[in-house]
Structure 1
Amino acid sequence: MSKNKEQIVYEKFLELQQETHLKNQKKIRVGLKINILLPLVFLAISFISNRSKLVFLVLWIASLFGIAFYLLYVEYMDFKLQEQLKELGIMEEEAEAQALIGEEVLQSIDEIKSMGEKLKR
């Protein structure tokens, strides 16, 4: 009976980690979209209005820092969760941490690097 309860707890914890990881991936996607759109909004407002451009420049810079700290926080919390899984023996010690930005982006980065190397030759 005890073994069954341990298995249930293990499965629920693993499921919770996977759900949290998926939610964090969505948060990263939203954060990256906001990182692109919000500065464009401030830029458009600064050109449309006749007010001081300095105010919009400061807001733009502050928003970029805020979004960057948010993205770092989400990534760090996901990393710490994966480290806890390794400590509890749920994940293998040698296993690499899962990236939040997705495999497509990582593959694109590898392709860009390989294209850059080809161009250098």
Structure 2
Amino acid sequence: MERDYEEIFQKVLDYEQTLHEKNRKRIKIGLKCIWIVPLFFLALLFLTGSNKVIFLILWIVSLFALSIYLIVVEYMDHNLQEKIMELKGEEGTIEAVTPADFDRAAQIIRKTREMIGEGLNSPAETQAEVTEKKDEAEEIKETEDGEEGE
């Protein structure tokens, strides 16, 4: 049953990771459109020679639409990152979440469950020994955090 939880947790993390990557692509596309759309309207202005006010209005409306699109995508991505941090059990500021973060979170959870599970399944161990195993899991987490910072 514990194995099922790990598989479900990994699937959730994978799904959220793919959503985050898609959001990053959407943001890149939106930023490119902010450059492409004005150039398109400028080219139409010179090629058609019609009323400049119409193209100005279309350009402004399109920039507002692109801005709203980028705000919505970024808001969804921010909420996604908050959920990821909640699943990982971390607090603090939200930074760019990388695939390594997902793998590291899954490893920490697996190691912690193994250590806690061993302590609960063995009647010979005392509560102090179980607490030591929890401390070891925290040290492993701190060591991994230190290695990534270098």
CA distance in 2 between partners of 1:95 and 1:9 (Å): 26
CA distance in 2 between partners of 1:35 and 1:95 (Å): 29
The answer on 1:97 being equivalent to 2:95 is: yes
Percent of aligned positions that are identical: 40
Please report how far the alpha carbon of residue 98 of structure 1 lies from its aligned counterpart in structure 2 after TM superposition. 1.6
* 1:3-40 alpha-carbon deviations (Å, 9 max, x no partner): 11110111001111111111111111111111100111
* Displaced runs of 4 or more, over 3 A: none
Structure 1 equivalent of residue 72 of structure 2: 73
TM-score (norm 1): 0.74
| Relative contact order higher in (CA < 8 Å, ≥ 6 apart) | 1
- Per the alignment, do residues 38 and 91 of structure 1 end up closer, same or farther by CA in structure 2, a change over 3 Å counting? farther
Structure 2 equivalent of residue 39 of structure 1: 38
Please report how far the alpha carbon of residue 47 of structure 1 lies from its aligned counterpart in structure 2 after TM superposition. 1.9
Greater share of residues in helix: 2
- DSSP 3-state at the match of 2:88: coil
Contact 1:46 1:53 in 2 (8 A): yes
The answer on 1:85 being equivalent to 2:84 is: yes
Structure 1 equivalent of residue 101 of structure 2: none
Q: Which amino acid aligns with 2:96?
A: Q
Q: Give the count of matched residue pairs.
A: 97
The structure with more radius of gyration: 2
Q: Which amino acid aligns with 2:14?
A: E
- DSSP 3-state at the match of 1:97: coil
- Per the alignment, do residues 91 and 38 of structure 1 end up closer, same or farther by CA in structure 2, a change over 3 Å counting? farther
Contact 2:34 2:63 in 1 (8 A): yes
- DSSP 3-state at the match of 2:26: helix
* 1:69-98 alpha-carbon deviations (Å, 9 max, x no partner): 1011110001111112233x3252125332
- Per the alignment, do residues 37 and 54 of structure 1 end up closer, same or farther by CA in structure 2, a change over 3 Å counting? same
Gaps of 5+ in 1: 100-121
The answer on 1:5 being equivalent to 2:4 is: yes
